[in-house]
A and B are shown apart, each in its own frame.
Chain A
Amino acid sequence: MASPRLRTITVAIAIALAATVLAACGSSSEEGGGGGEENGPITIGFATAQSGAFASYDKPAVDGAKLEIEKINAEGGIDGRKIKVVEADTRTDINGAREAADEVLANGAQFMMVTCDFDYSTPSIVEAQSHNVVAMSPCAGSTKFRTDVIGPNGFSMGTGVPAEGASQAEFASEKLKAKTAYVIVDPTIDIDKQSGAAFEQRWKELGGTIVGTDVFQQEDQSFSAQISRLRELPEPPDVIYLASYPPGGVRFVRSLRAAGIESPILAESNFDGSYWLKSVPGLSDFYHTAYGSMNGDDPEPAVNQVMAEYTKKYGKPETEIGALSGYSVIEALKRAYEKAGTTEASKLVPALEEFHNEKLAIGPTTFDKLNHITLDRPVRIIQVQNGKESLVGLWKPKKVPVIE
């Protein structure tokens, strides 16, 4: 056993070492952030989930972003400044989001790409804001990306989720000729509440009837009560709007079909990617929204081009949402930087806020002084018939309800 004196010395050395490391972190974070030097490379920090549940959105987003970064660097950079990347993993953890932001900021990040969700990206955005750095989420869909909610420096390249709910209402009413709808919301995440509300509002505007609403929880082990209530309806609804996400949402769809409820189901882009289809064998009459089609048949050539380049380099992405939106985050940065001439938030934010139907690969993008997310972008409607996905088409919502 070590003598007490030896132990004291060991502890002292450990404290000294820790202090040195902390000091090093402190000094580098002072150097980094806030635009920093204006001539060297532009440092972009990815504070995204490389592990955990959000990795399936964030990993393709990082790869999509790198795809565009390589192109920019090959052409000599943005205004002659090449792009350098620093990365940290949020581990799909709220505290992890702050730590990852601190890490990339300490490594000199002048612009940040954060995770694909409002709640999980907020801590990173707050850190970015305190360093005067702009942070953009690739595919978060919450309309809370507003300057009066999240502050001036947070953006999302995603499509505000009410556009998805509204598009589904219009699609079901016009194309499926549906008159009655049943709305089921999984309130565990905010965007599902928003999309359910948007669907309901738009459905009523279009003259449709809501024959019932219900909720279930992502973690529920049984959906028997929800199914019983659906069965008690005098007639099955023409459509069911399902605001949820996998795996809970998929379990719900499976239970519905197992219970013999065959009404067409409308869902959000959360169901994007065909990985879950085998969980509901032979599924038909299921429609979900998406940011783009992965299979080369998208109506927009820009989407097909990005997907082709992406697939060539990284293989088919788990979700096209991430790949496409990550790519467009860098497109947006390039266009805004060319106007602002700096990454400094005071100039970059106004440049981004000038985007009005700016043509990016992900689609027309609009930011303004209040909304830092595009609210009325067209969506794709993807259908599942006999367990196979196919593109129905592009849907431009005629009216998107304002949901806060």
Chain B
Amino acid sequence: MTEIIQHLVDAAGLASLYALLALPVALVYGIMNLVNFAHGELIMIGAYGLFIFAAITLPLAAFLALVIVVLAALAMERAAFRPVRGSSPETLLVTSFAVSFLLQNAALMIFGSRPKSVETPSLFSQTVTIGGVHIEGVTILSVGLAVICIGGLVIFMKRTAFGMAMRAAAEDFTMARLVGIRANAVISGTFAISGVGAGVAAFILVVQGGSAFATMGLTPVIIAFVATMMGGLGSFSGALIGAALLGAGTVAFDVLLPTQLRSSREAFVYGAVLVVLLIRPQGLVPARRERV
């Protein structure tokens, strides 16, 4: 029994992290049909921000890093995506790849290829044991931040005028504009929120790994993309379900596969994703909207 609870705790930790990765990608896709592969580089910027400011106290460093990521997200939208807004999804996708490569190589030039060590308080490197179940500090952190962020986002989307404008825009962008919602404001706001998500994810990844490096955004963005695809591109709740399933599935395969097969775990996880997409090509919770 403890063993099962242990695995559930582990799965919850990973699913929370994946949800924090997937949500911003889903939000941006919902608003402007853009699969933002440069979202990983926002995470990387956040991690380097933590590295730069780590010398001052951690809460302040985390805040400053978050500000930098949000500014970077806004700048990214203004400089790279606004000029191609409304273009075909392919154009947007290629643009996001270009931004991603550019930022990664800029980071390589500035910081070099070696990972930069970031010191984090030993508080997060502790393990709490309750009734035989071990809960790592980073698991508590991931679950806590995911609950706060997702809860905050839900309230924001449901209760504020801006949130409602975002939802309207996600459902039908043209119609939303016809009734007077300002496109620039909504899109910039969405990017800012995706920046917050990237900053929070960067914090968790740095606490977990203790380092920042140029290519650290690659795997997270692929996970985010797969989770949103599986959940239904552009759907908020779909992204959450996709992230939860992907996290739980990864832990499940890790636990259940025999040692010889474990090195091919990714093949099993993504094989399962493929099966889901074959059965439901539009994802588990398809977005409610018509695109023109």
* A225 interfacial by beta-carbon distance below 8 Å: yes
* A246 interfacial by beta-carbon distance below 8 Å: yes
**Residue of A whose beta carbon sits closest to that of B208:** A251
* B87 interfacial by beta-carbon distance below 8 Å: no
Q: Is the CB of A221 within 8 A of B219?
A: yes
Count B-side interface residues using an 8 Å CB cutoff.
48
Q: How far is the CA of A217 from the CA of B218 in the complex (A)?
A: 14
Q: How far is the CA of A246 from the CA of B215 in the complex (A)?
A: 12
* A29 interfacial by beta-carbon distance below 8 Å: no
* A314 interfacial by beta-carbon distance below 8 Å: no
**Residue of B whose beta carbon sits closest to that of A218:** B219
**1/0 per residue A133-164: CB within 8 Å of B?**
00000000000000000000000000000000
* B259 interfacial by beta-carbon distance below 8 Å: yes
Q: Is the CB of A278 within 8 A of B210?
A: yes
Q: Is the CB of A279 within 8 A of B108?
A: no
Q: Is the CB of A280 within 8 A of B210?
A: yes
- Smallest CB–CB gap between B222 and chain A, Å? 9
Q: How far is the CA of A258 from the CA of B126 in the complex (A)?
A: 6
- Smallest CB–CB gap between B52 and chain A, Å? 14
Q: How far is the CA of A251 from the CA of B204 in the complex (A)?
A: 13
Q: Is the CB of A51 within 8 A of B210?
A: no
- Smallest CB–CB gap between A286 and chain B, Å? 14
* B182 interfacial by beta-carbon distance below 8 Å: no
Q: Is the CB of A276 within 8 A of B117?
A: yes
Q: How far is the CA of A254 from the CA of B210 in the complex (A)?
A: 8
**Residue of B whose beta carbon sits closest to that of A57:** B113
Contacts of A187 in B (CB 8 A): 263
Given A221-B220, A247-B209, decide whether A257 and B13 contact each other with a Cβ distance below 8 A: no
- Smallest CB–CB gap between A185 and chain B, Å? 8
Contacts of A222 in B (CB 8 A): 10, 13-14, 17, 208, 250-251
Q: How far is the CA of A280 from the CA of B207 in the complex (A)?
A: 11
**1/0 per residue B201-213: CB within 8 Å of A?**
0000100111101
Most interface-central of A51, A215, A225, A273 (chain B CB within 10 A): A225
Q: Is the CB of A221 within 8 A of B122?
A: no
**1/0 per residue B117-131: CB within 8 Å of A?**
111001011110000
Q: Is the CB of A276 within 8 A of B115?
A: yes
Which of A225, A247, A260 is in CB contact (< 8 Å) with B254?
A225
Q: How far is the CA of A259 from the CA of B133 in the complex (A)?
A: 12
**Residue of B whose beta carbon sits closest to that of A58:** B113
Within 8 A of B (CB), among A218-264: 219, 221-222, 224-228, 231-232, 246-247, 250-251, 254-255, 257-260
* A190 interfacial by beta-carbon distance below 8 Å: no
Q: Is the CB of B259 within 8 A of A225?
A: no
Q: Is the CB of B125 within 8 A of A254?
A: yes
Q: How far is the CA of A221 from the CA of B219 in the complex (A)?
A: 8
Q: Is the CB of B210 within 8 A of A221?
A: no
* B147 interfacial by beta-carbon distance below 8 Å: no
Given A217-B266, A222-B13, decide whether A247 and B211 contact each other with a Cβ distance below 8 A: yes
**Residue of A whose beta carbon sits closest to that of B120:** A281
Within 8 A of A (CB), among B122-166: 122, 124-127, 134, 136-139
Taking beta carbons and an 8 Å cutoff, which residues of B are in contact with A?
3, 6-7, 10, 13-14, 17-18, 105, 108, 112-115, 117-119, 122, 124-127, 134, 136-139, 205, 208-211, 213, 215-216, 218-220, 223, 250-251, 254-255, 259, 262-263, 265-266
Instruction: Offer 12 A-B interface pairs, CB within 8 angstroms, sorted by A.
Output: A56-B113, A187-B263, A215-B262, A224-B254, A228-B7, A228-B10, A246-B115, A257-B125, A258-B125, A258-B126, A279-B118, A281-B125
Interface pairs A-B: 7 shortest CB-CB: A279-B210, A278-B117, A225-B254, A224-B10, A251-B209, A258-B125, A219-B219
